[in-house]
Amino acid sequence: MAQNEHPPFIENIPAYAVGALDAEDSAALESHLKTCVSCRTELAEYRAVSESLLTAVAPKQPSAALRKRLQSRLPSAQKTIRPRLNWSIGRVAVGAAFTLLLALSVYSILQVRALQLQQAQLTRQIQTSQTVLALLSYPSTQNVPINVNESVSGTLLLDKDRNIATIVVWNMPLLQKDQTYQIWLIDPQGDRTSVGIFRPDPGQSLTTTSITSTNNLSDFVGIGVTVEPAGGSDHPTGSRIFKVDF
Amino acid sequence: MNDLNESELIAQVAQGNERAFLEIYDCYASRVHGLTLHILRDPMLAEEATQDTFLKLWSRSNQYLAERGPFLPWLLTIARRVALDRLRLEARRPALSDSNDPDDAWLTIPDLESMEEESRWRSMYFAVQSLSPDHRKVIELAYYQGLSQSEIAEVLGWPLGTVKTRLHSAMEKLREHWNEK
């Protein structure tokens, strides 16, 4: 587009370049500039001129006090005018603190849970030991040997009068995670009734587990232990570890 | 200061390096203050505007993009806006006399001749001074006082058409001078 085809836009470009064009004319020119390459080129030249006017004044050294004053304001200015940086540091700090707190909380919960498990285990062992001691002290307690193989053996302590029994076995084989030992009482007809499950503790060669039956132990003739899926079974399904008659 | 050093210093300022900031201040404070004083005509107001300009530099140096142009015009553009904002805030319209522009002040700028762009800008000072008084008045009021053509017409009591013609003519002369260099 030739320059003489679009006055007054081109006439207004110098004033626009120095920011002196009135608002209405500025809007019209800006609209025209969107579609006119030659006017944009013209504007670029005048803008270079107006930019050069920035330095077309004599320099003047400010007072020395200004430099000191400015220097003293830099830290606070940085704080107020770099909110994103501060925000980021703050967020990172809060995030890190929160993560640390969360990690500590999880660690604490796991520790408490582990202690609870240890406590429950110790409680069971103490109860079993007390039961064993009690059984051994009763004159009516029946002591039935358990012989699985050369390394695995133990004793069944049985008090039919009080309906309590304890299995004490050395070197019970450790089980996989999805397995458990299940104890069965055997009646004269050969039917099995579950009276509990147990797992030997790793690192412990002696396994003790007490049996408290709601049934009358006198109605049964033997006791057996099988390997079952974790949680136990309604009826024996796995391999038999041992069976003793009493 | 060469371009490489300047870019490095600006990058360091963006990282919060006060020493780099002060180095840039020492290099350009007189240019910034010269402009703010030219616009505001009041030493105290000019120092405040100069201070505000450098505080903006301190906080926004990461907005400067070297690929879009030299640093000094960018800094002076900030200074001009700060000073014009202050001028509007004060609602004062200074006289047109320019007692703060002694020619020998240019001697305070180091190594001007060694930098092509600096030399070009320096010549613009003389180009403005060589304009006719009427042309210089409209440039002064339009660019350094931030007035529109209508406001200039009102201030000077000239017809709007006269203001437009003289401003156009003055800018045309400056462009010719700029393109000759």
Instruction: Give me the residue spans of the domains in chain A.
Output: 3-54, 142-245
Q: How many domains does chain B have?
A: 2
Q: Is residue B102 scored above 50 in pLDDT?
A: no
Task: Judge whether B101 lies within some domain.
Answer: no
Closest residue in A to B107 (Cα) is A59
Q: Output the CATH code of domain A3-54.
A: 1.10.10
Q: Do A14 and B106 touch (CB under 8 A)?
A: no
Q: Is residue B103 part of a domain?
A: no
Question: Given this model, what pLDDT does residue B163 score?
Answer: 95
The CATH number that applies at residue B154 is 1.10.10.10
- Predicted pLDDT at A15: 94
Write the CATH number for B75.
Answer: 1.10.1740.10
Compare all CA atoms of chain A with the CA of B20 and give the residue at the minimum distance. Answer: A71
Contact A18 B142 (CB under 8 A): yes
* Residue among B30, B103, B150 whose CB faces A60 most closely: B30
Beta-strand pair A153-159/A206-212: unpaired
Do residues B128 and B177 touch, judged by C-beta distance below 8 A?
Answer: no
- Pairing outcome for strands A192-198 and A153-159: unpaired
Residue range of the domain that includes B21: 1-95
In terms of Cα–Cα distance, which of B132, B127, B142 is closest to A12?
Answer: B142
Q: Which member of A11, A70, A81 has the closest CB to residue B25? A: A70
Rounded Cα–Cα distance for residues A45 and B27 (Å): 28
- What is the band of B116 on the pLDDT scale with cuts at 50, 70, 90? low
For the segment B134-176, what is each residue's pLDDT rounded down to a tens digit? 999 999 999 999 999 999 999 999 999 999 999 999 999 999 9
Query: Are the C-beta atoms of residues A160 and A166 closer than 8 Å to each other?
Result: no
Residue B135 maps to a domain: yes
CA atoms within 13 Å, Cβ hemisphere of A88: 3
Cβ burial B74-89 (10 Å sphere, 16+ → b, else e): bbbbbbbebbbebbee
Q: Which residues of chain B are within 8 Å of residue A74 when distances are taken between CB atoms?
A: 18, 21, 58
Q: What SS3 class is residue A161? A: coil
Neighbours of B102 (CB within 10 A): 11
Q: State whether B91 and B115 are in the same domain.
A: no
For residues B76 and B145, membership in a common domain is answered with: no
Question: What integer pLDDT is reported at residue A205 of this predicted model?
Answer: 81
* Of A21, A127, A172, A173, the residue nearest B151 (C-alpha): A21
CB A86 within 8 A of CB B33: no
Note the pTM of the prediction, 2 decimals. Answer: 0.55
Coil vs helix vs strand at A234: coil
Looking at the structure, do residues B35 and B88 belong to the same domain, yes or no? Answer: yes
For residue B127, what are the CA distances in angstroms to A57, A73, B103, B133, B178?
A: 11, 38, 13, 12, 9
- How many H helices and E strands in chain B? 8, 0
In a domain, B6, yes or no: yes
- Asked whether residue B105 carries a pLDDT value surpassing 50, the answer given is no
Q: What are the 10-residue block averages of pLDDT along chain A, 246 residues in total?
A: 63 92 90 90 90 86 93 68 50 78 86 83 74 73 86 87 86 88 92 89 81 82 92 89 90
Planar angle of CA B14, B20, B22, nearest 5 degrees: 115
pLDDT in tens, B31-82: 999 999 999 999 999 999 999 999 999 988 888 887 777 888 889 999 999 9
The correct answer on CATH 3.30.460 for the domain covering A142-245 is no
Nearest-Å Rg of the Cα atoms of chain B is 17
Tokens of B60: 């926004």
pLDDT of A23-64, one tens digit each? 888 999 999 999 889 999 999 999 888 888 988 888 899 999
